[in-house]
Amino acid sequence: MRNKAYIPYLDIIKFILANLVVCIHFVIPGCLGDAIDCLARVAVPFFFIISGYYSYNSESVVLWRRFRRTNFILLGSSILYCIWGVWKTVGLSGLGISSFIHDKINCATAIDFLFFSVNPFSNHLWFLHALAVSYLFLILVLFAIRKEKARCMVLVSLLVILLCAHIVLGTIIPALSIEPIPKQYYRNAWLFGIPVFLIGYSIHIWKARRALAKKPNRLIQFIIVITGLALGLFQWFGIGHAEMPAGILLATVFIFLFALEQSTKTTDSKSYDKLVKISKILGASSVWIYMIHKLVGEVIEAYVPYSDFCKLVYDGALFTITVMIISTAISLIIALGVGFVKKKVLEHT
């Protein structure tokens, strides 16, 4: 039976953006690569917005399950990158394992992880910690505030306050030529994850109250998206790099709204069923792409002196594209494999 709440277009966009994350961590050289790095910043806010959107009106047991699943993925990813870190330190660099432990596992890294979402084994895993904290935060708010109107007011107020704090620390202070603030103080669960997660949650409240009943003007949506991307590029090159340029966030929100608009179209067709099937595979693989792409890139970098293939592809844009292709291929195989196993298990229960 089809899940009517499922929106396939969101998973398709998420798959595309998961590949663009590769362009953030392995930047293509030159001005074009720098611009792509900026535009690819749409990805992480989009991931948080999706999670917040699907969390609206969810039961606590569902939110707890998502919280546990996110922590499970975070734990598995951390172990994977820990193993790679040990191998790189001991096997490739010839250093003792005590060097790795001293560098990665100590009181300072534990504090950074708990309070600032900094993962000692790979910095891109901050997203998983921030997402887990966002789920926990919402669970606590739903438990503490029973009246929906009061709860909405509190969540929207926190959204504005936390998002403004992120913009001040990450954009305004650096723009005023004051010494830049380390990114872990604003790229974390509290000032990035939770407010952007709440944007998605608020969009679903807005939609549930039929504020989106009137069909929006696609031309206006398109103009806002282009304007947001242009403003993001202006901030990026004219003011300074930011973790989440304000224009990019604006564009992200309207890309998300455009995807929601597509969900109102007719879904009574075999082609739509095929679209749902494909989009679920793409959505599942996007999680794996995010998890493993950094490992794929680091392995290629580390083995350049030992492998002709790594030496060949470790060249500007070819390197980024290679990481993207390998990560996507592995992720699709894993997603299809997991889906096949789940199907067989269901058939035998």
Contact 254, 225 (CB under 8 A): yes
Distance in angstroms (rounded) separating the CA atoms of residues 264 and 225: 20
The mean pLDDT of the chain is 90
The tens digit of pLDDT for each residue in 160-206 reads: 999 999 999 988 888 887 788 899 999 999 999 999 999 999 999 88
Q: Cβ(195)–Cβ(215) under 8 Å?
A: no
Q: How confident is the model at residue 1 (pLDDT cuts 50, 70, 90)?
A: very low
pLDDT at 236 over 90: yes
Residue pair 52/198 in contact (Cβ under 8 Å)? The answer is yes
- Pick the closest to residue 244 from 252, 132, 175, 226 (CA basis): 252
Give CA 14 to chain center in angstroms.
9
> Do the Cβ atoms of 184 and 112 come closer than 8 Å?
yes
Report the distance separating Cα 189 and Cα 71, nearest Å.
14
At 23-34, the pLDDT tens digits run 999 999 999 999
Model pLDDT, residue 345? 78
- pTM for this prediction: 0.93
Do residues 54 and 31 touch, judged by C-beta distance below 8 A?
no
Count of all residues that appear for the chain in the document: 349
Helix, strand or coil for residue 266?
coil
pLDDT digits 0-9 by tens, 288-308: 999 999 999 999 999 999 999
* CB-neighbour burial class of residue 172 (10 A; exposed 0-12, middle 13-18, buried 19+): middle
Q: Phi, psi (5° rounding) for residue 58?
A: -85, 145
Mean pLDDT to the nearest integer, 102-123: 92
Distance CA 327, CA 319 (A): 12
CA 165/CA 171 separation, integer angstroms: 10
Alpha carbons within 13 angstroms on the beta-carbon side of residue 106 total 8
Residue 266, pLDDT score = 55
3-state SS of 40-93? HHHHHHHHHHHHHHHHCCCCHHHHHHHHHHHHHHHHHHHHHHHHHHHHHHHHHC
Average pLDDT over residues 49-74: 95
Question: CA 303 → CA 23, 111, 298, 318, 340, distances in Å?
Answer: 20, 32, 9, 16, 33
37 pLDDT higher than 90:
yes
pLDDT at 268: 63
